[in-house]
Structure 1
């Protein structure tokens, strides 16, 4: 099939590359000429494992190209909208400027094909009710379907070609709904043939799936972090607690890892936008619990700062502090709302000489935060440090040798912000080990 992908950021670039790799002919459109040039050269503009290989393979096949010219989408049977929906400045609400601009620019280039009108498939995470509004803008020029994404950074290629489910939010008119479903079934035919569940619903239900899923995941993370606070107050061990309750199949073990909390470009802004939309709909009481989820999450960052201040006996100014990790999670260079970067910034603001390192996010960090001392390796960051903070659980950080590192620091204090280190091994090497919610 001939497809277009509007917006070639994290979501769009991965989707376009994977769809072309599956055999479709795809044109990706973005307003950023530099980004388009990098993509056409086979150079992903962000770190995502496996994407470079898929991108280069798709380009070499001749089925994928990127452009800044919206007119080049004419003739595509399905147009995917994958632009960003960041948090509005000064409010919790989602900024739909890019979604509206993408649809407005796309409509004049929609053309009917041999199988019927063009299909516009929304993938961006939007407030419930957005699809119904956009459908009015599109009118009879095309058929709108909402097809939310469920990508995990670090696993985005896998989640695109082998998702755990496909969701279609179909229009209310039976004929248009049939057209939309037929088109998406054609796009995902190889995925559906492997038995991937396909769920169909109305626009509103499909829009709610993504934000409801993210809100639930955020709730699990903040719940176990609240339990970590209780464990610290009582001397209990949150790691044991998480393992014990995780054996209950009604609860499960995933996302029960206490630590410095969640960040990134999705969970924080999505739960805030969900709260804002609930307020607009007069249903704010249904999501008031998300305010506490957000509060617990942000509180974890200051808690790590407080632990560091305590480890330094209150004498923070001028003390070298090593921060291992800047991205919000491993296998990504995404520093949006990163707990690690937030902690580093707060300690720097207290006068600490923060040296921060990250295997992927270092170059990004040097561009956007020239005020921070970014080091190329953990060794560079750790030399002479009075405290070491592990805040992003990159495998190379988790596997560091405490004996070897102990010879390089000024003070053997390690704060494990992700509860991933072997506390016994670090203590045996002479370190003061501080975990979160662990005795």
Structure 2
């Protein structure tokens, strides 16, 4: 099939490349000429494992092209996917649909004949009905149907999640039960569906609610264990052992019960805020009032980590050297949007610490957000002269890092495990103080901690 993907950011570029991988002819469209030039040259302007290979392979095969011209897109295909961003409004928690609405208006001005527009962006419930009315009012020379096919991508696994999803959800116009939109979209995903992937069809509103409901549930589960972590910190419990115990309950499960610094990124924070804001607009704000506490629990983890570091530094970080390992909101990503790691680094800097940050992929993005922090060339470089080392993003190279790699360069052997991802016993055995969120005990090393002679140096995202 021929299709276009309107909006070539993280979602759109991934979808375009993966649809070409399925054998379709795909034209990606974006207003950002620099982004289009980069993609057309086979370079993904953000970090996502394996996406570069998929992009280059399909450009070389002639199945994938990019343009800034919507008129070209309108004449190229009859199926158009929308991957335009829906960020949080700057003055409220609601989603900003300006770019999405603009893209739809400009596209339909070029359409002639019969077309299907398929939304993938995360939108508030009711958006499809509003867009459909606008499309009907503006269409002059085209018959246009609207469907919604929400994405469920995990950063770091986006290619696999697109080509091997756990389900495909499609919402269609409930006023036209005889529409063939769901069948046409099924043809797009035929190769995936033949592998047994569930294909779930429903009305617009339900499809719109699926994505935000899934993210709200996930955020709630993460904040739940972090709330329990707060209790453990004052009551003497071990939140990891607790999570292991309750995770054996099949009704609960162990996944996403990892206490730590909390969630960030471009989806969960904005989606739960937009969901709560939309519920308020619909007059049922009390139904999602708990999401405000979910959000607050998550934000408190950042303050808790800053407090833990201050306590470990005798009550103040003023004038202390602090290494922050991690800037992206999660490993296998260069995304620093609403990153807990980067927020902590910035807060420590504001409190007078000399903060040095290292992240394997997110350094450039982090430096654009917080240019006043020092950005190191390696974990060892960041830790040089440090009074405290914080593991704030659980990159594999940090998780499996040997204490010996840092022992000879730090000023004080103090490791703060913000993600509870390290082997605390191994660090203590190597003579380090080990501290972590979710534990009341101040972990002391099995050997006497030493002050190490090292050069004093001063001095990350979602």
For the residue of structure 2 that corresponds to 1:169, the secondary structure is: strand
* 1:11 aligned partner: 11
* 1:401 aligned partner: 402
* 1:34 aligned partner: 34
* 2:117 aligned partner: 120
For residue 404 of structure 1, report the CA deviation from its aligned partner: 3.2
- Aligned residues between the structures: 434
In 2, distance between residues paired with 1:52 and 1:184?
Answer: 26
In 1, distance between residues paired with 2:331 and 2:405?
Answer: 23
* 2:135 aligned partner: 138
In 1, distance between residues paired with 2:405 and 2:24?
Answer: 51
For residue 319 of structure 1, report the CA deviation from its aligned partner: 1.1
Q: Which runs of 5+ in 2 are unaligned?
A: 442-462
Equivalent residues of 2:79, 2:118 under 8 A apart: yes
For the residue of structure 2 that corresponds to 1:142, the secondary structure is: strand
More off after superposition, 407-416 vs 210-219: 407-416
For the residue of structure 2 that corresponds to 1:297, the secondary structure is: helix
Listed one character per residue, the Cα deviations across residues 124-166 of structure 1 (whole Å, up to 9, x for unaligned) are: 0000000000001222631000100000000000000110000
Q: Pairwise CA RMSD of aligned residues?
A: 1.0
> So what's the TM-score if we normalise by structure 2?
0.92
Equivalent residues of 1:27, 1:72 under 8 A apart: no
For residue 367 of structure 1, report the CA deviation from its aligned partner: 3.1
In 2, distance between residues paired with 1:366 and 1:420?
Answer: 25
In 2, distance between residues paired with 1:89 and 1:363?
Answer: 24
Equivalent residues of 1:6, 1:81 under 8 A apart: yes
* 2:373 aligned partner: 372
Asked if residue 147 in structure 1 is aligned to residue 144 in structure 2, the reply is no
* 2:326 aligned partner: 325
Equivalent residues of 1:362, 1:376 under 8 A apart: no
For the residue of structure 1 that corresponds to 2:109, the secondary structure is: helix
Equivalent residues of 1:309, 1:315 under 8 A apart: yes
* 1:348 aligned partner: 349
Equivalent residues of 1:143, 1:176 under 8 A apart: no
Equivalent residues of 1:324, 1:391 under 8 A apart: yes
Equivalent residues of 1:8, 1:29 under 8 A apart: yes
In 2, distance between residues paired with 1:244 and 1:78?
Answer: 49
Asked if residue 295 in structure 1 is aligned to residue 296 in structure 2, the reply is yes
For residue 110 of structure 1, report the CA deviation from its aligned partner: 2.3
Asked if residue 129 in structure 1 is aligned to residue 130 in structure 2, the reply is no
* 1:219 aligned partner: 220
In 1, distance between residues paired with 2:294 and 2:263?
Answer: 11
Which runs of structure 2 are paired with 1:180-219 in the superposition (5 Å)?
Answer: 180-219=181-220
For residue 109 of structure 1, report the CA deviation from its aligned partner: 2.2
Equivalent residues of 1:261, 1:339 under 8 A apart: yes
For residue 176 of structure 1, report the CA deviation from its aligned partner: 5.6
For residue 376 of structure 1, report the CA deviation from its aligned partner: 1.6
For residue 42 of structure 1, report the CA deviation from its aligned partner: 0.5
Which runs of structure 2 are paired with 1:59-78 in the superposition (5 Å)?
Answer: 59-75=59-75, 76-78=77-79
The 1:281–1:173 alpha-carbon spacing in structure 2 relative to 1, beyond 3 Å, is: closer
For the residue of structure 2 that corresponds to 1:177, the secondary structure is: coil
Q: Which runs of 5+ in 1 are unaligned?
A: none
Listed one character per residue, the Cα deviations across residues 321-366 of structure 1 (whole Å, up to 9, x for unaligned) are: 0000000000000000000000001000001000001000012223
For the residue of structure 2 that corresponds to 1:414, the secondary structure is: strand
More off after superposition, 367-376 vs 51-60: 367-376
